[in-house]
Amino acid sequence: MSTKKRRSLKGISSALAAMAAGVAGKATASSSQGDGEHLQAMEGVAEFHKLADGSVQVTLVNGDVLRIPSGQFDIDGRQLFVTQSYLGNAEVISQASTSGGFDLGLAGLVTGGAGAGLLSAGTSNQNESEGGFATAAAVASPAVVNHAPDFVIGEEMDARSGELDVGIVSAEDVDGDQIFWTIIGGDDQRFFSINNETGMLSFLTEPQIGSTGDDDGDGVFEVIVEISDGDAVNQQLIYVSIIEGNGAPVITGSLSYSQAENASAIFALNASDPEGDALTWSIVGGADAALFVIDSQTGQVSFATVPDFENATDDDNNNVYQLLVAVSDGNKTTTGAMTVTVENADEPPIITSSANLAMASNSTLAGTITASDPENGGLTFRIVGGVDAAFFTISSSGVLSFKNAPDAENPQDSGANNIYDLTVEVSDGTNVVQQNISVTVTGSDSGNSAPEITSGGSVSLDENTTAVLSVVASDSDGDSLSYAIAGGADGALFTINAAGELSFKAAPDFENPADSDGDNVYDVIVSVSDGVTTTQQSVTVTVNDVNDAPVLTGPSGLSLAENTKTVGTITASDDEGDDLTFSLTGGVDADLFTINATTGALSFKVAPDYEAPGDDDGDNAYQLEVTVSDGTTSTVQQITVSVTDANDAPVITSSNAVTITENRSNVMIASASDVDSGDTLVWSIAGGADKDLFTVDSATGALSFITAPDYEAPSSFDGGNVYAVVLQVSDGNGG
């Protein structure tokens, strides 16, 4: 704080060090002024200082505090002079000490009366001169028990620019009493508040460094704070200077990141602080906050679990993860919205079939190698190795077969043990995966022949049907045969019954293919068993597109208020995107409507009247049938149009022309009707060239001249005894 000269309330804070000699024998009384004596070299006095209200506070070495009111003392350098009249009125003892000096005896501090808070009780053995000053050594009385609270903080405080709180005006009370803080003065007290119980001094508005809004314009604000324990008080002038404020941390760099799936990336956040304070990081919000962790010291953010593009876990499942991060310097916090975009990585295919296959002797089908691709890309299969690879072939859909049917009684594999080994590779065009396959060939009972499937291995059918084909098989031994689904990439979509009839579980939709590679070509393996041996066949089912009927997508119930013609628009969609045509094809009330063949806009030919319904059964619910066609197929929908009641305007039924004789005021009583029951009609004059000459009764419609007309002196606008006025009637409901 600056060293400018302060207007200190403390006075001479070192006061009376020489006056506290400690022994009565060293105390002396001397007259320093002609009209009084001063307290000098007095035992027991620690210090004194002047207060804002003009009084002086005397502190004894034992902590007791005396207050002498303004006008009853004088300060000269380090000397405090007290009037003898005040000492007498306050009943202060001024007596010789046992060693010949002078003592000021304290009979105790009292809590009321003329001596409250001051010296009291006792008699004086010293000669007094009215209006003079006396000197004595102050000694503590054991009866004095309350001590005023003391300020612990100095008189200078600093406040940070831009922050309301200055700091706590620290104080203590040796008696352990609760302390209360109050602002009682100071040139700049209007800028401050103080917490009565904590002593926190605060600006009312945020101060700014360089501000000269204080009373004397030097940028140093002055405020007087008083502390009290409920009885005794103390005061101090506080000087508040504005220093550079604490700046909030600044997040540097982008908060938008991207990473490939299946990786546990770490995102290093960065921030700076104007004061160089240590920073701490945290995650404070965001739709996906729970999916991340952060190192509070380094600001490194990472996924709690490695993300998977194909199985997004962010709030809106679009692989864009949102969170809110915060960095704090301990005083101020800055937040930032962070975005992490997870990008798709081309993952290798996954072989899902078993590496160990088994088949009966004398058949060629070994099994189907099945695989999936996370990106749903097309897969290719090939044999790339193995000691027995030369015996096999594999189709584009993964069907593995022997080139020639193996004979269990004459094994050809390298180990001559009917276990054939090969390696199969699956590729998505970028990534490949391989699997070692073992095919075990089993023998059959002597004389038993395996069943033979004679039906074709491929079939084509139209979408929206379930039946595929009948698997036809024969057995030379005449054994009963049983049929089953043995596998295939799309085997789970099929069922087969005891007669060998293969069907889709749900009719396929060409526009929404469900096969494994989405090309409307479904692969399934069927098997036939005679109870001893089993024969398999791979079947390929191709689904063809057919024209789908359009679909009406709007509601079957529409409504509108009476007296309007437009009902709404009939909407429809077509899978093939064909142009659609709308028409009215039935319904008891169809003749009352018209429809736009291109847009489907439906309207009444004549606006309906709720009070006079025109539908077939008179209930204001009109029935019609709408058909939409794509030129090949069509769809029909029954529509109900409900007409709702609306307020109808009243109708004036009286004549608009009337003739009267001169010199009379009454013109006519206008009449009107309203189809809406319960409405009250109100009449008024709405216009006309001669409207200012008329009045109308708002309840009855009685129209009158304000002044009876005179035929010989017409007052009409055109001067021809023809008066024009416009009447209006309202039902109060907008009609």
Between residues 70 and 467, the one the model is more confident about = 467
Task: Please report, as a single letter, which amino acid is at residue 309.
Answer: F
Residue 437 shares a structural domain with residue 357: yes
pLDDT at 39 over 60: no
Between residues 381 and 140, the one the model is more confident about = 381
Please state which of the ranges 275-289, 342-356, 584-598, 698-712 shows the lowest mean pLDDT. Answer: 342-356
pLDDT of residue 57: 78
Residue 235 shares a structural domain with residue 276: no
| % residues pLDDT > 90 (the chain) | 55
Q: Chain centroid to CA 86: how far?
A: 71
Tens digit of pLDDT for each residue in 225-276? Answer: 999 998 889 999 999 999 887 778 999 989 999 998 888 778 999 999 888 8
Residue 498 shares a structural domain with residue 456: yes
End position of a domain, from candidates 312, 343, 374: 343
Residue 591 shares a structural domain with residue 675: no
Give the domain range for residue 659.
651-730
As given in the structure block, the two tokens for residue 295 are 């190192």
pTM over 0.85: no
* Residue 318 placed within a domain: yes
* Residue 178 placed within a domain: yes
pLDDT of residue 44: 54
pLDDT of residue 143: 37
| Mean model confidence pLDDT for the chain | 82
pLDDT of residue 359: 86
Between residues 87 and 96, the one the model is more confident about = 87
Residue 412 shares a structural domain with residue 471: no
Compute the distance between CA of residue 287 and CA of residue 126 in angstroms, rounded to an integer: 87
Tens digit of pLDDT for each residue in 184-236? Answer: 999 999 999 999 999 999 999 988 887 778 888 888 999 999 999 988 899 99
Residue 483 shares a structural domain with residue 520: yes
Residue 410 shares a structural domain with residue 325: no
Compute the distance between CA of residue 23 and CA of residue 27 in angstroms, rounded to an integer: 7
* Residue 5 placed within a domain: no
Confidence of residue 84 (pLDDT cuts 50, 70, 90): low
End position of a domain, from candidates 442, 468, 500: 442
Task: Please report, as a single letter, which amino acid is at residue 598.
Answer: T
User: For 677, what's the count of Cα atoms within 13 Å in the CB-facing half-sphere?
Assistant: 2
Q: Chain centroid to CA 119: how far?
A: 67
DSSP state of 85: H
pLDDT at 24 over 60: no
Please state which of the ranges 163-167, 278-282, 289-293, 323-327 shows the lowest mean pLDDT. Answer: 163-167
Give the mean model confidence (pLDDT) for residues 1-27: 30
Compute the distance between CA of residue 467 and CA of residue 496 in angstroms, rounded to an integer: 10
Please tell me the chain's helix, strand, coil percentages from 3-state DSSP, rounded to the nearest 5: 5, 40, 55
Closest CA to 223 of 241, 198, 205: 241
**Which residues have a Cβ under 8 Å from the Cβ of 9 and sit 6 or more positions away?**
49, 50, 51, 52, 224, 235, 236, 237
Beta strands in 142-275 (DSSP E): 150-151, 156-160, 165-168, 171-172, 180-185, 192-194, 200-203, 220-228, 233-243, 250-252, 256-260, 266-268, 270-272
Give the mean model confidence (pLDDT) for residues 20-35: 30
Residue 326 shares a structural domain with residue 360: no
Give the mean model confidence (pLDDT) for residues 289-311: 93
Tens digit of pLDDT for each residue in 497-516? Answer: 999 999 999 999 998 999 98
pLDDT of residue 447: 62
Residue 469 shares a structural domain with residue 540: yes
Compute the distance between CA of residue 622 and CA of residue 606 in angstroms, rounded to an integer: 13
Q: For residues 649 and 609, is the Cβ–Cβ distance under 8 A? A: no
Tens digit of pLDDT for each residue in 395-418? Answer: 988 999 999 989 988 999 999 999
Give the mean model confidence (pLDDT) for residues 10-21: 29
* Residue 560 placed within a domain: yes
Q: What angle do CA 161, 211, 199 make, to 5 degrees?
A: 50
In this structure, what CATH number is given to the domain that contains residue 696?
2.60.40.60
Tens digit of pLDDT for each residue in 322-331? Answer: 999 999 988 8
pLDDT of residue 12: 25
pLDDT of residue 691: 93
Compute the distance between CA of residue 37 and CA of residue 29 in angstroms, rounded to an integer: 8
DSSP string, 111-125: SSSTTTTS--S----
Closest CA to 522 of 433, 461, 456, 568: 461
Residue 640 shares a structural domain with residue 657: no
* Residue 411 placed within a domain: yes
End position of a domain, from candidates 305, 327, 343: 343
- Length, in residues, of the chain: 735
Radius of gyration from C-alpha coordinates of the chain: 54
Residue 336 shares a structural domain with residue 256: yes
Residue 670 shares a structural domain with residue 698: yes
**Structural domain total, the chain:** 7
Instruction: Please name every residue paired with 575 in a beta bridge, in sequence order, or none if there are none.
Output: none
* Residue 383 placed within a domain: yes
Q: For residues 349 and 427, is the Cβ–Cβ distance under 8 A? A: yes
* Residue 570 placed within a domain: yes
DSSP three-state, residue 39:
strand
* Residue 258 placed within a domain: yes
